[in-house]
Structure 1
Amino acid sequence: MHIERMVIFSPSYDEKIYGDFNIDLRELNKNMDVMAKANLRTANYLDGCQVAPFDELNILAHKSLHDDLQSVKQGENVSTVLKREDVIKKIDYKGEGMYELLSKRIKNADGEPEVFTYNSFPQAFRNQVFYILEDVLEPYSTYNENLWDIFEEKFCREKGLKGMGYGKLQNGYGKSSIEKYFKDCDDIDFLDAIDYFFYLIDKKIRTIKPEYQYDYDADGAINAAIAELNYRFKQNNLGYEFANSQIITIDSTFCIKQL
């Protein structure tokens, strides 16, 4: 068989070539979003996780379809799918080792624990800190997931407590337990709590959006919370400030000393 064809090249750049590709650019972002969600659903299925597109978690796969098929073949078909809140709790709050609480970081020139010399924290200030914490955590606290419970559990582990307010830890009581702890604890324990809680807020949840709140500005909410905390310190004439993801002291000459 013999086939002939003719190709013609035009040296002129004046002629414009038009084409109708039937693409609506207004739908481009929507289509890309649909594809991204489809890819995430596939990844969730293969990895055994349940996360949403807005979580922005850098999850490394620890499973494979081959291993799952092998387990089924060998009669070990046990579901290991993690719920969204379990994925967030496991990845974002247990990945960087232990945290040194404020009371453990404070040392004097002799290396001994430093004594707090600033005024005690009035109940009004404690309430204000709780309101700030509420602004940040409440959007994340739904029927399916509750950051109040996670924060209470993490602090109790670091502090060696059974619970913060009502004996042992109980699901769904994190908020009321933290509120009671803020009301009743001594000054050192209170500083430990706000130092640790705001460390978690500043370092751990900036990249996590509340469920179904795709446009939520986590960075903005966290920055506003830290700014208000520092304002309340000054308003109540307390010599502390939250900077570089931890509580620091401010001496009488307003020079900052890192703890």
Structure 2
Amino acid sequence: MIFKLFSERKKEESGADDVYQYDKVTDKLRVQIQQILADAIGRFYVFGYHDLSTPDNNNDGWEMIVSILRREYGVHYLRGADNPAEEFLRFIGDCKVEEFIDALEVACRYIGEVVSGIPQYRLENYSIKMKPEEALDEVNYRLRQASFGYQYENGAIFRVDDEFVHKEVVKPAIRFLHAEGFSGPRDEFFRAHSLYREGKHSLAVVECGKAFESALKSVCDIKGWEYEKGDRASDLIKIIRRNELIPNHLDKSFDQLIATLASGLPQLRNNEGAHGQGATQRQVPRPIAEYALHLCAAKIALIAGLATGQS
């Protein structure tokens, strides 16, 4: 009798085979976040006895951010430092993962709710070098780039695997791709997700198409169904349909899913990535690349689950 221990179940549920990790903040990411926040919040200026004027600064902003964290943690100081800005930046440089997320969320909320309300022409008066929307976009980009599974949206930081689509579509597909016979599409899917996190959206869409085609070939190999080496996804879908991997007796709404399998991702690949694009490289918006990843994952989970008899 096989008994799956809690620790094993927890490992599966927490994303051991995920494209993101949630338990470690790299030194590189900490430095990048420090630099973004410093540019987006502005300078803290320590006034001297002989100062005759007030240089550009945002002392109030740094004091607000730090005072919130001190109060919530019940401490007088986060770290030893000469001023609140230095205290905050030192703190996120070596704090625990949960504390890093707390501090980042407070800083991002300040940028999104306070700095965004400062007129553009006055940002220099606060020594702010970065527009709020640009700063928040780069924060999310750096988190994705580091495969750190959190994003800032609508005033809060959330775990990527708390998203329904990621939890119910992407992660199940990854589990299927770790089965025997799916190493090729697994590598391509992970490469697609890596390209997406790096912001290389056009290449990510192309790699999604490759992963889906490879998964179809893996299914045919598992089932012993012959296909030509150069067959594309549309050709391979006809083979699995002809062999009734997806039963013909199901209702017509399932035919609509077959139509999506036949036209969705391959068409995305043809339109967005695979065809020649002339002297100027076509830019694929991030939502299109994200849709391609989710569509690819859903299709892989479907055909792999049916081929291997797993739910």
Greater Rg by CA:
1
- What TM-score, normalized to structure 1? 0.45
- What TM-score, normalized to structure 2? 0.38
Greater helix share, 1 or 2? Answer: 2
